[in-house]
């Protein structure tokens, strides 16, 4: 008796989904998502185009750093990776000092005054990603790498992914999670639009040595051209993020080392004394981008695929890791109640909570950037008065600190 060959994927359709969740994107947020869901008992795969390079203490400190808030540290600790990150190379900070070049007004945050040991840690992106990536195998996450998703189909009880570059060309899961970055191809495939604005600025980054120690303090000065942050690294240097208009950023990138060090010293008001040395510089574009929805059928967005914010508050990755915790908790509750984890009402619960919180934060950072862009003497004076009032109003300042910490 002759048999008809099965079409590609037909056997998978008959067997049903092999996985609970497929996460696409293996950056910090995507890897944390896959690890969190696997540790919560979900059969999980992570699809990534390129595995991260191994992190080594002998390598130069990565130019891309993140200020991890207490909420992010708590999640990484739950995932059993925080201790190895902290012991590898992480710079704690206990103070944050923010001041306005135009008005001279300043606000200072002190961990001890908030009843905490510290405000956060400055950590290299690739260190966090590498430690998460190492933990995936031990958690039973199926790593599909290198691979790209070229298409996906939503079926009755699952999503079926078509993969390019992988050993298997089809992968099925009950839920598809897009953590594939600000330019998210999956978000485009799902037809989810975004809104926001281009700041027409770039963030110039480098690691610098200074005449005086950073004192475990995150320093940020608001200039007419944009904010300049000096973030304390574990090795005693500071990581800078200098937000500048496009043309000015290109000019600064092209300066010789001596001129760059002098201009940076002036921009920082020589708060840490002279800038005595610098790594090579790089820059990245600044924009505000918010997905108009965080969900589609059997599909959710998180991290930069859902929201990209101004770096002035250093909260981008922290917002993404809060997305991770919310999604995990939502799916666990649904499973424990015997519900389909990818049912529309389940995903709507996650999307409503996180989109509301992320949007409020993103628009708050945007408003702050606009306020510090004021140049009228009257408005500058009003801004200075407002900053001084906030610094003196302890309950309000504590509330701001707790919100930034994710508490």
Phi-psi region of 99 (alpha: psi -120 to 50; beta: other; left: phi over 0): beta
pLDDT digit string, tens, across residues 363-375: 888 877 777 777 7
Give me the residues paired with residue 242 across strands. 204, 228
Nearest of 80, 66, 127, 147 to residue 318 by alpha carbon: 66
0.75 surpassed by pTM? yes
In the chain, the number of structural domains is 1
pLDDT digit string, tens, across residues 159-211: 999 999 877 789 999 999 999 999 999 999 999 999 999 999 999 999 999 99
Would residue 11 count as lying in a domain? no
Would residue 13 count as lying in a domain? no
Would residue 74 count as lying in a domain? yes
Q: What is the pLDDT of residue 10?
A: 45
Q: What is the pLDDT of residue 387?
A: 73
The CATH number covering residue 146 comes to: 3.50.50.60
pLDDT digit string, tens, across residues 5-47: 333 344 444 455 679 999 999 999 999 999 999 999 999 999 9
Do 86 and 121 touch, CB atoms closer than 8 A? yes
Task: Report the alpha-carbon distance of residue 193 to residue 292 in Å, rounded.
Answer: 6
Would residue 353 count as lying in a domain? yes
Q: Does residue 118 have a cis bond before it (omega within 30 degrees)?
A: no
Q: How deeply is 137 buried, as exposed, middle or buried, from its count of CB atoms within 10 A (0-12, 13-18, 19+)? A: exposed
Would residue 7 count as lying in a domain? no
Do 161 and 172 touch, CB atoms closer than 8 A? yes
Nearest of 101, 80, 92 to residue 32 by alpha carbon: 80
Would residue 3 count as lying in a domain? no
Q: Which two tokens stand for residue 21?
A: 């969740």
Would residue 14 count as lying in a domain? no
Cα–Cα distance list, 404 to 19, 76, 95 (Å)? 35, 17, 13
Task: Beginning with the edge strand found earlier in the chain, give each strand of the sheet holding 90-93 in spatial order.
Answer: 65-68, 120-124, 90-93
Task: Report the alpha-carbon distance of residue 138 to residue 25 in Å, rounded.
Answer: 19
What is the residue range of 319's domain?
Answer: 19-405
Task: Report the alpha-carbon distance of residue 407 to residue 399 in Å, rounded.
Answer: 10
Would residue 2 count as lying in a domain? no
Residue 278's CB: how many other CB atoms inside 10 A? 16
pLDDT at 240 over 80: yes
- Mean pLDDT across the stretch 81-106? 93
């Amino acid at each position: 008796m002759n048999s008809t060959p099965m079409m590609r994927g037909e056997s998978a359709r008959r067997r049903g989904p092999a996985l609970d969740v497929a996460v696409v994107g293996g950056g910090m947020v995507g890897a944390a998502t896959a690890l969190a869901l696997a540790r919560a008992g979900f059969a999980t795969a992570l699809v990534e185009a390129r595995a991260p390079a191994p992190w080594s203490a002998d390598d130069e400190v990565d130019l891309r750093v993140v200020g991890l808030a207490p909420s992010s540290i708590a999640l990484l600790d739950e995932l059993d990776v925080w201790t190895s990150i902290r012991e590898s190379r992480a710079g704690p900070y206990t103070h944050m000092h923010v001041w306005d070049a135009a008005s001279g007004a300043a606000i200072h945050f002190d961990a001890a005054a908030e009843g905490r040991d510290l405000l956060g840690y400055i950590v290299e992106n690739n260190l966090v990603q590498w430690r998460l990536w190492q933990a995936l195998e031990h958690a039973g996450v199926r790593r599909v790498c290198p691979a790209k998703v070229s298409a996906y189909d939503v079926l009755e009880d699952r999503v079926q992914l078509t993969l390019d570059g992988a050993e298997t060309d089809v992968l099925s899961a009950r839920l598809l999670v897009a953590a594939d970055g600000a330019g998210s191809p999956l978000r485009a495939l799902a037809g989810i639009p975004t809104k926001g604005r281009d700041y027409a600025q770039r963030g110039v980054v480098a690691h610098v040595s200074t005449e005086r120690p950073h004192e475990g303090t995150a320093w940020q000065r608001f200039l007419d051209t944009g904010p300049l942050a000096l973030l304390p690294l574990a090795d005693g240097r500071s990581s800078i993020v200098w937000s500048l208009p496009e043309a000015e950023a290109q000019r600064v990138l092209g300066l010789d080392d001596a001129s760059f060090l002098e201009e940076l010293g002036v921009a920082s008001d020589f708060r840490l004394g002279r800038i005595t040395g610098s790594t090579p510089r790089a820059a990245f574009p600044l924009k505000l981008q918010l997905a108009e929805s965080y969900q589609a059928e059997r599909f959710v967005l998180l991290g930069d695929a859902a929201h990209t914010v101004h770096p002035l508050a250093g909260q981008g990755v922290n917002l993404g890791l809060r997305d991770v915790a919310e999604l995990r908790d939502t799916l666990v509750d649904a499973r424990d109640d015997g519900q389909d984890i990818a049912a529309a009402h389940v995903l709507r619960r996650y999307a409503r909570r996180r989109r509301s919180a992320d949007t409020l934060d993103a628009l708050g950072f945007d408003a702050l950037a606009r306020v510090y862009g004021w140049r009228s003497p009257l408005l500058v004076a009003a801004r200075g008065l407002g900053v001084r009032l906030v610094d003196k109003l302890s309950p309000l300042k504590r509330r701001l600190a707790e919100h930034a910490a994710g508490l």
